[in-house]
Copies of this chain bind each other. A is one copy, B any other.
Amino acid sequence: MATYKAPLREMRFVLQELLSVDAIAKLPGYEEATGDVVEAILEEGAKLCENELMPLNRSGDEEGCHYENGVVRTPKGFKEAYKLFADGGWPALSCAPRYGGQGLPKVVSLAVEEMICSANISFGMYPGLSVGAYNAIEASAGEALKALYLPKLASGAWAGTMCLTEPQCGTDLGLVRTRAEPAADGSYAITGTKIFISAGEHDLTENIIHLVLARLPGAPDGTHGISLFLVPRELPNADGSLGMRNAVRCGSIEHKMGIKASATCVMNFDAAKGWLVGEPNKGMRCMFVMMNAARLGVGIQGLGIAETAYQSAVAYAKERLAGRSLAGAKHPDRPADPIIVHPDVRRMLLTMRAQVEAARALAYWVGLEGDKAAKHPDAAAREAADDLVALLTPIVKAYFTDMGFEAANLAVQTYGGHGYIRENGVEQLVRDARITQIYEGANGIQALDLVGRKLGSHMGRSLRRFFHPVLGLIEAYQGDAKMAEFVLPLAKAFGRLQQATAWLAEQGLRDPEEAGAAASDYLRLFALVALGYMWCRMAKTALQKLADGGTEERSFYEAKLATARFFMARLLPQTGTLFATLMAGKKPLMALAEAAF
């Protein structure tokens, strides 16, 4: 069976020892987020995820959601688990205190999200979408809408959705057809069909608040004619009590490869009453606030699944007996050795481990920078932090979700035939992980976002926010005998990234198809350098801890160094091929005539 224990020691290493999360309590508004508080929250979160959410993961997949006559029933146990979740105050974790939230830093909710995604990604979709809706309303809606809706979302009494995709368009939202007609009372009548709406309808909350992209009459074509509307399923009275049912209805749910306990709905809006959020025709801008946070969240789903895949594979590899160590029997008293003795099994386990640990460090670093971007008193520091988050968001989304899918598959491979059997729970990780590479902007779109928007933004300012610390680390430690084995491979990979970046900047300006042809390989190259950078920082921390002596956890830090060495020797060299293939240019991709495919 798939197994999961929240990796609290790993989280502590990253938050406290690597990133000194304590410092966050110096930011105005985060005074209460001391190391002790963060630790206590993670421990409580771990209990919830291990004891309540994980046990529903398998049964939720088998049962799936049920649709009947506009109503969606979540699998057995989800309603009760959601009640525990809401009663525990988890939806409010990073919501503003003035709307009933706990006002904790995003990095803390990120760590909790990771645990939720490890335990039950389908369950996590419901509160995840609500957070997205909360963020969009908080960032763009007027005060009246905020006052009415945000407390209900923060308490978890109501849930939220993002209604973007339509049958004819997903990636290309310029093709949205849903219409919004102004009504006399200042509201709008929304009409159209949205598909693939996660949490569009369910039985967990008394109300669901849809954020809907639609066109006002006479709006320009394309993305510049799209506006954002808030459309509640039940129209609330001014006091927050529920009034009439609105004209929005779930038409059906999808039968999907995975995340079967997450209801994916067709939503029909039939002159449903809604309110404008933000300015007319500026809906895409409002939505981007929500989408960027959501993209980081999807990256965290990849990380969460990868952690569970790793833990499950390790447990099986220690228990399953087959063959003998090639170096001679390790357990001559047993009929065979556990498969963890085999180099190829270790290759699979370490491939997961070395990516997961660096990905967690990178994600939490981005999370902390996000908190700085929100709360730092200095405008320049806020801007710098925001640049870094914007730059790394597509990398976290795309690379982490590819990693989650790869890890899930490596877990299945470790299990062998038993991994293919549903009841053992690891094949579900593969099916669940698969969607994360697609939704919130398919990974190819993330790559285009990186090369098309982020690289050149502010004349390369965002890029420098990452390149400078990497260069700084390389310069600081390249002469350090103990760090050389980590820093030299990073320097080599970083050299490739610098060269590819320069090439892209030149070619991409001349011919955007060159940038498009290089994008996916470039994103992976960038991501590997980012993970390599985090491994160097982690190795430095581990070496320091070992040098300080007196620690009872020498093996913990030694394992960090061994895993860092694996990353440098076995994963970072992928940058060589990625560099070669992206530098091959667009011609091999574009030469074949459309008709010849």
| Selected contact of A347 from candidates B325, B343, B517, B573, CB within 8 Å | B517
**Most B CB atoms within 10 A — which of A196, A519, A576, A588?**
A588
Chain B hits for A589, CB < 8 A = 343, 346-347, 350, 566, 570
Chain B hits for A574, CB < 8 A = 577
Stretch at the interface among A37-45, A143-151, A434-442, A534-542: A434-442
- Taking CB atoms and an 8 Å cut-off, the chain A residues in 332-361 that contact chain B are 335-336, 338, 340-350, 353
User: A592 an interface residue at 8 Å Cβ cutoff?
Assistant: yes
User: A184 an interface residue at 8 Å Cβ cutoff?
Assistant: no
- Interface residue tally for chain A (C-beta within 8 Å): 100
User: A513 an interface residue at 8 Å Cβ cutoff?
Assistant: yes
User: A507 an interface residue at 8 Å Cβ cutoff?
Assistant: no
Chain B hits for A348, CB < 8 A = 444
Stretch at the interface among A73-81, A82-90, A118-126, A167-175: A167-175
User: A476 an interface residue at 8 Å Cβ cutoff?
Assistant: no
| Selected contact of A417 from candidates B439, B519, B566, CB within 8 Å | B439
User: A569 an interface residue at 8 Å Cβ cutoff?
Assistant: yes
**Closest beta carbon of chain B to A412's beta carbon, Å:** 7
Chain B hits for A568, CB < 8 A = 588
**Most B CB atoms within 10 A — which of A171, A196, A257, A593?**
A257
Contact call A512/B326, Cβ cutoff below 8 A? yes
**Bound complex: CA A516 to CA B596 (Å):** 42
**Closest beta carbon of chain B to A79's beta carbon, Å:** 25
**Closest beta carbon of chain B to A514's beta carbon, Å:** 8
User: A584 an interface residue at 8 Å Cβ cutoff?
Assistant: yes
**Bound complex: CA A452 to CA B437 (Å):** 37
Contact call B597/A570, Cβ cutoff below 8 A? no
| Selected contact of A322 from candidates B172, B421, B431, B569, CB within 8 Å | B172
- Taking CB atoms and an 8 Å cut-off, the chain A residues in 341-385 that contact chain B are 341-350, 353
**Bound complex: CA A284 to CA B344 (Å):** 24
Contact call B172/A596, Cβ cutoff below 8 A? no
**Closest beta carbon of chain B to A308's beta carbon, Å:** 15
Contact call A256/B420, Cβ cutoff below 8 A? yes
